[in-house]
Structures are given as structure tokens and as C-alpha cells.
Structure 1
Amino acid sequence: MSYQRSIVKRLIFGSAFIFSLSFLVTIANAQDGKAIFNSKCAACHNVFKNSTGPALGGMEERGPWSDRKKLYAWIHNPAAFMANDPYTQGLKDSHNGILMTGFPDLTEGDIDAVVNYVNTTFTAGPGGGAKPAAGETAAPEPKSDDTLLFGVLTLILAVIALTLLQVNSNLKKMTDDKEGIPASEPVPFYRNKLYIALGIIVLFLVGGYYTIQGAIGLGRHQGYEPEQPIFYSHKVHAGINQISCLYCHGGAQEGKSANIPAVNVCMNCHMGINEYTKGPQLFRPDGSEVNGTAEIQKLYSYAGWDPDKKQYTGKGKPIEWERIHNLPDHVYFNHSQHVVVGQQQCQTCHGNITEMDEVQQFADLSMGWCVNCHRNTKVQFTDNKFYSIYEKFHEDIRNKKIDSVTVEMIGGIECQKCHY
């Protein structure tokens, strides 16, 4: 009888423990679609309005997305899906030739969760109200954190588990009293081996999870937007005035680094433009308004330029710009290789730069993000003598076994390509 009670006790404890862990794992993996959307989609997509990519609200009413299987195929491998789909080809053309990054790591359940989140958010509208009328600018989606809710639920489950253990202990005591078995001295919870083991396991799992996440995210600064010495609006320069990125960042086409333009490059235009009068109002991230003319005067101070005498004073100094994008020292990245050979647009890595005032880091620039791009990006394989040695791929294209060659297929995800 005592052996049976011991088994029952272990079953109850084990069931409660497994249920608690499975609940936590479900929370961590499912994340109700919102966390997946924020980590994977929000950098390029908004629910209500077009951004770097199209608005996702009501997507199942457009194109082929009413067929969930096609949506899975598109998200897992956009390049392969787009090869035979006119709708997604049109999407690429209408968004500056930017092809969506594939996410082969997302399961169908993850994608379903994201779609459900998008549909729910779109139906409720910004702020939980009706959808915005045509031409109306949608209000920013409020950011919420469900950590407190998850913590409360976890605490409730822990209390339930402990209550069940206590009930089991009381039942055992009642049966022992009825059978005349002398009761043993109760062991305090802080000396109970089961409680101690459970505490160690929980601490190990939680500590390990945050340690791994911290190590993976070390040095990544997605969304980083420092305040610069001069408020330089890419939206005004590259967007409204359509100044080519390569005019200021010529190194992106000619060398490894995109380079920061010298003050003289700025002065090529601002010797004659000394006031900001015709552009839109400028605002910092905190909402404070920027005086564009005063920012031009800052440029003159750094350049050592006297706008009244129209001459240099010789008292100029370098502009100490705050660096935003910074890859680890062990990573090799060549801008010209991607811009000239790979024919990638600046927006692929830097986001919709023509809509930004002060620039922020658009992508997380992780190894997984780069590898996914290499897996999906096609190379100019035919009519290119450099790739003439790949006879097998040329033969497969002629025999229509494949319709294109990706960077991955020619060794683009080999370690030494980026780490040497």
C-alpha cells in the first residue's frame, strides 16, 4: 500500500511538473503570433499601411493568399515561388525590386499564428476601433508586453502543483492514520529533495535560456537610432530631392565599405543652400521639432565656412558621426560585391531609407539573416563567363531541371565566404 501511494505521489508530481513545462514551452514557441510578427515581419511590414513591404491587413483577400499552402511556400522560399507567380513578381516590381527574405525556419503553425494575429489586428483597426478610412494615416500600433501575464499564469500553475502535492501528502497521512502506520516527521520544503531538484532545474532552464539569448544577440542593435551631431534627413535628401545614395556613399559601389561622405561632399550643395524653407517639418524621435536652417549652420561650423563672405575660414573640424551599422570583426562583408555583382538595392539591408529622417538599423544583421538571403537570391548565371565552369548547373538549366541558380548553390553559405 505504501509503495502504491509513493507511485501515486510521483505520478501527481510528475504530471504537474510536465504540465507546467509544456505550458511554458507552448508560450515560448507559439507566442500567439504577435511576437513572431514583431521579430520576423515588423521590420518590413505594417498591418494597416505599406512600408518596405505591402500592408498585411486583408492579405487573404489579395492574390493567391487565400490558399494557405501557397502562403507557406512563399514565406519559406520567396524566390522559388515568385518564379511561376505573376502576382508576387508584380509585388517585387512595385516595391523597388526588393524581394522578401525567406523564413524556412517558420513552421506552418507559426505562420498560421501570424496570420491570425494580423487578421485580428486588422479587423479591430488601430487602437481597437474601426479600420482607417481611405487616405487616412493609421496610428502607430501600440506596443504591449505580455511578460506579466505569462508570469502570473506560471505562478498560478506553480501554486496548483504545490496544492496537489499538499493534498497528496494529507491523503497519505489520513490513510496512514487509518491503517495505524506511524507518521514520519515532515520534511521542511527547503530540505525536500524534490523541491530542491525542481528549483535547480527551473533556474538552469531560465538561466540557460537568457544566457543563450544574450549571447546570440550580443552586438546586435536592430532599431538602433542614435542622435547625430547634425540632424541629417535621408527622407529629405534621398527621398524628396532624390539624391542618389552613391553620390554620398560611393564606396558602396567601388569598395568594401560604403564610407561616410566628407564634409566637402555636403558643401557641394550647401554652399548655395543655406536655409531650409521648402521641405516638410522635421522631428526627432522624441517628438521635438528640428530647425533645418540651424542644422545647416552646424554644417558650416564643422566645414569652417563663412556664409556671408562665401569663403572657408580654415577653422573646420571633422563631424563625429555616431556609427549605426557595425559587424563583428570576424565577419567579412564587401559592399561592391553585393551592389555591383549581386545587384542588391540599398533597401535590402538598410530598409526604406528614403522614408527615414535620422537613420536606424533596419535588419538585425545576424548570420541567419544573411544566410537566408543567400539561399533565396538568384545570381546572373547565364551569359556570364565567370560562371562558365559550373557545367552541371548549365546542363540542368538546359534540361529544365532547375530554372535558376542561387548564391547558396555556388557556395554562398560556406563558412569561409564570410569568415576568413
Structure 2
Amino acid sequence: MMHNRPSAKKVIFSLLLATVFSFGTAVQAQDGKALFTANCASCHNPVKDATGPALKGAEARWGDKAKLHAWVRNSQAVIASGDKYANDLFAKWGRVAMTSFPSLSDEEIDAIFKYVEAYAPPVVAKPEGGEAKESGDNSLLFGILTLVLAVVALILLQVNSNLRKLADDKDGIPASEPVPFYRNKAYIALVVIVLFIVGGIFTVNGAINLGRSKDYQPEQPIYYSHKVHAGINQINCLYCHGGAQESKHAGIPSLNVCMNCHMAINEYNGEQLFTEDGKEVNGTAEIQKLYKYAGFDPAVSKQWDPSKAKPIEWVKIHNLPDHVYFNHAQHVTAGKVQCQTCHGEIQNMGEVKQFTDLSMGWCINCHRETKVQFVENKFYSIYEKFHDEIKQKKRDGVTVEEIGGTECQKCHY
């Protein structure tokens, strides 16, 4: 029976290798989506215009993959080369410079556009029960199938051992009784190792995500739609969040800011509103909730008395640890960072959710890849060496990292 163990080990090793390879293939298939989400989603949508143009069909519009790669890595260099399409695109989108991604390889850029070309908007149906159907993740199904195949393989190995014993008995070859798989030390060791690896992965991922709130979307006391205000009605973010331009905190708008408009606007006549789970929202009723907090009754008086107001108890969504320093003005005013970079396509959100995990790694990667608006920005006038190198064409820009954006004391104090 001893001569069967090498073949059994080979079968087990082959099965493990195939499983690992299948997981590796699945990860590679997700690379395009992951790269798009990490680098492009804050400004682009695959199928509709956002802060930047829709990316679907971009390869066909450019007509030259090499130029498209160059544009992604450094759009200003392509514009400076005199390329007509690049200059037309730059002019069409308000002459706002696209963020450069010099670290992306040709394969990664191709993976992004492959994902974009294959992208189809998710279909969200509203069933009779009022709950939306969402497309699910098949990871659980694949995991169950892998487990079933592993069990079948163990059973087949045990059957093979029993059949070989029967054949040896028939030929008169002495053989010991086959060891049941639940007592086989090799099988037990294999199961322990697999459980240790899987448990370790879940433990590490769980520990890494402690305190993070990506996709956190609480129900607010009033249904406030950023899509209606910032998207359809084009209200500037800084009108409500003026602190983002001049202070550390963006700030939550006071009732006075809301009532500047809603003393006159007491009915909602826009497109139908729905919550994330598909429930219909009465926009006019939500305005009445605002009036209740403000202590305002337009049927009694057209003038609002702020002394009768009480604060709206908004639920905080974005929250950084106490040991992390983040300054909105530093990013918005000095760095010229768009709100969508950290908050996602806020102009298309009904109920606001946290767009990214706001982790240290996410911030560091942004600082390493993002080029600040260095030229004609008085905040960076002290960096004479970099200004001279730009004038001498020795560099085409300056990243946040190069001006100390990855130093520990900049964010931790």
C-alpha cells in the first residue's frame, strides 16, 4: 500500500495547483475593474459623461493606441505636442487638465479599456415588494463548487485505495488495510493547512478593514438628493460646504443655507425620487420635514424666524481616525483637487454613501501618482528648483510625494 502514496500526493498537489490557478485567473479577470475603480472612477463613467467624458469607445475615437497610452500617462505632454484630437478634447472639457498616471503600464491601461468596452450598466428592477434586485457576486458559488470538488477528489482517492487492495488480495499480494481518510495523516495535515490559509486571509482582511466604512450609506432624517441639487440644478459644492475652500472641515450647511432657497421653493416637481432599496420618495414631503426643523410655516408667514429653528440631526458618513490630519482647504484650494476624487460622483448620488475606504494606502497612492497644479499656483512659489526644472523642460510636473506628501508628520501629529 506504501507505493500508492506518491501517486495520491501527486493527485492532491495537482488539485491544489488547479484551484490556486483558478483563483489567480479570477483575480486577473478583475484587474481592469479594480484599476478603473482606483484610478478613473472618480472622474469617468464607462457609458455616460461625468467630470470627464464617457470612456466607452475611447480607443476607437483616438484611433491610435500609443497616443491613448501617452494621454493617460501625461495628457499635457500630448497636448503640447500639437495633436489635434488631444487639443480639441482639452478645449471641449473646459481646458481642465486630466490627472496623469505615469505608473500605469501598457497592459494595465489596456485592461482598463477592455473592462470599459465590456461594461454594461447594472439592471436594477423594482419588484412588486418594492425592493430592488441587484446583481450578485458569484464568489460564494465558486467557493462551494471548489469545496465539493475537493470532497469528491478525496472520495475518489479512497475508492482507488480500496480497489487496489482488492486487486492485491486477488493476486495474493499481502497488503495492509487502507487507512480511512479521516485518519490519514496526510489528509488531516492538508485540511489543517488549507483551513489555516483561508482563516488567515479572512483574519487579515478583517483586521485591515476595521474602522473603515466604504459604501456606508445611513438613512438621514431628511432625504437630501445631491443628484437633484449638485447634478440637475448645478449648485456648486462650495455653496453648501464653504468650509472646504478655507478651512480644515468642509462643514455641514446650516438651516439658514437651506432656507435661502426653500423659503421660495416649497414643492418638488422634478424627476421621481427613489431610495437605494427602491422605495418611492415624496420630494414635497421632504421639504415639509425641512420646514418642521426650521419652524417655518409658509401659510402663516412668508418670513422665517431663525429663533424657532432646531438643528437637523444629520448622520455623519465620512470619518477619519483622531490621529489623522486632513485639511480640506489644503486639497481644494492649494491642490485644486475635485470633490469627486474622494467622494465619487456625488452629483449622481441620491442618498450619499462613502465612495472609498479612505485608507492610508489609498491616500499614499494618490499622493504618489497625482501631479499638483504647480505652475501659476502661488502656494507652491517657494519650490524654485522644481519651477526651474519645469522651465528647462527637465520635468513636466510635480507629484504630491515630491513636495513631502508622503512624510509621516504631514498627516500624523
Q: In the alignment, what sits opposite 1:20? A: 19
Q: Give the number of aligned pairs.
A: 400
Any conservation in 2 of the 1:47–1:121 contact (CA below 8 Å)?
yes
Partners in 2 of 1:61 and 1:286 — Cα distance? 37
Secondary structure at the counterpart of residue 62 of structure 1: helix
Stretches of structure 1 that go unaligned for 5 or more consecutive residues are 128-139
Residues 384 and 152 of structure 1: CA distance in aligned 2, closer, same or farther (over 3 Å): closer
Q: In the alignment, what sits opposite 1:279? A: 270
TM, length-normalised to structure 2 = 0.80
Any conservation in 1 of the 2:43–2:340 contact (CA below 8 Å)?
no
Partners in 1 of 2:380 and 2:38 — Cα distance? 36
Partners in 1 of 2:256 and 2:208 — Cα distance? 40
Residues 55 and 242 of structure 1: CA distance in aligned 2, closer, same or farther (over 3 Å): closer
1:59-138 aligned within 5 A: 59-63=58-62, 67=65, 77=73, 97=96, 99=98, 102=101, 104=103, 115-121=113-119
1:343 corresponds to 2:346: no
Any conservation in 1 of the 2:100–2:369 contact (CA below 8 Å)?
yes
Residues 171 and 393 of structure 1: CA distance in aligned 2, closer, same or farther (over 3 Å): farther
Cα deviation 1:299-327 (Å, max 9, x = unaligned): 22212234313353854321100112122
Q: CA deviation at 1:199?
A: 1.2
Residues 278 and 159 of structure 1: CA distance in aligned 2, closer, same or farther (over 3 Å): closer
Range with bigger deviation, 156-165 or 288-297: 156-165
1:155-234 aligned within 5 A: 155-159=147-151, 161-163=153-155, 165-166=157-158, 168-170=160-162, 172-173=164-165, 176-177=168-169, 180-234=172-226
% same residue: 59
Range with bigger deviation, 253-262 or 311-320: 311-320
Stretches of structure 2 that go unaligned for 5 or more consecutive residues are 124-131
Partners in 2 of 1:45 and 1:380 — Cα distance? 20
1:282-297 aligned within 5 A: 282-297=273-288
1:396 corresponds to 2:389: yes
Partners in 2 of 1:44 and 1:321 — Cα distance? 27
Q: CA deviation at 1:334?
A: 0.2
Q: In the alignment, what sits opposite 1:301? A: 292
Q: CA deviation at 1:251?
A: 0.9
Residues 162 and 93 of structure 1: CA distance in aligned 2, closer, same or farther (over 3 Å): farther
TM, length-normalised to structure 1 = 0.79
Residues 284 and 95 of structure 1: CA distance in aligned 2, closer, same or farther (over 3 Å): farther
Cα deviation 1:189-211 (Å, max 9, x = unaligned): 22211111111111112112222
Residues 146 and 330 of structure 1: CA distance in aligned 2, closer, same or farther (over 3 Å): same
Range with bigger deviation, 206-215 or 30-39: 30-39
Q: Select 1:376's aligned residue among 369, 380, 402.
A: 369
